[in-house]
Structure formats: structure tokens, C-alpha cells
Amino acid sequence: MLGVIVVALALVAVAHGAGKALTLTGPRSNKLGTTFTYDIAGSAVGGADYLVGWEQLHPRSGCANTYAAESTRMFLPSMYDIALETARPVTPNSSFSTVAHFNAVNPGEHGLCVYLISVETGDTYAHVAAWWTNHG
């Protein structure tokens, strides 16, 4: 039964960027005190060789369109309240998948902003976002 509920509440978000595959799959709603995951999958295209993602504890203006713009928000924690969640290399021109683990500790709306980038140049090849609510 729990599996049916999770599937029914699952959110699939598809990346921005023509022809670039990056997806997030996970719940849209979580009960406080529970653990949950988001599956991150895609294909490392072009010069992309790294996957990085942040949790935003407050949606504010949503996820930035580029890794460079989102990473500058790390220096404004009182405004964006974001935390590094996922950072790992990916093999260029191949598929990848990973799982981001969360604990529903803070109530309210939260988000996950994920970027497929080149470590050498900092260029963003794809980005995707998903939002959920933690409730009592």
C-alpha cells in the first residue's frame, strides 16, 4: 500500500535544455519525521562531467537557471537557506543515476536544484528542479 501511495505522489521533473536528459523522481509531500529519496538520472552530454545539487529550504525565487548563479546563493544562507546535497563526477557521453536522501525535519516547502556541468568551464549543460512540502 505504501508503494502505491509513493508512486501516486511521485513527481517527475525533466531538465531544461534542448536534447539534454536529466530527471528527478520523488514525492511531492512528506510527513515530518520520515525519510525519503529523490532519484536523479540522466545522460552526460557534451562536455558535462559533474552532477551537483542543492536543497533549498525556502523556495524564494526557485532554482537558478545555471550552476554559476545557483552556487553564488551558497554565500547568502540567511536569504536562500540552501545546503549542498549531491556532488559527484559523471562519465561524459554516458548514462548515470544516483539517489539523494532526505529527512523531513523542517516543515514547509522545499526544493532540489540539480545541475549537470563541466568542472573545467563551469558551464551548465542541463538543470532540473523539484519541489515538495513537509507537513505534520
Q: Where are the domains of the chain?
A: 2-135
Q: Is 122 left (phi over 0), alpha (psi -120 to 50) or beta?
A: left
Architecture of domain 2-135: Sandwich (2.60)
Contact 12, 131 (CB under 8 A): no
**pTM for the full model?**
0.82
Q: Going residue by residue through the chain (136 aa), what tens digit of pLDDT does each one get?
A: 434 333 333 445 545 543 457 999 999 999 999 999 999 999 998 899 999 998 887 777 789 999 998 887 766 655 555 566 789 999 999 999 999 999 999 899 999 999 999 999 999 999 999 999 999 9
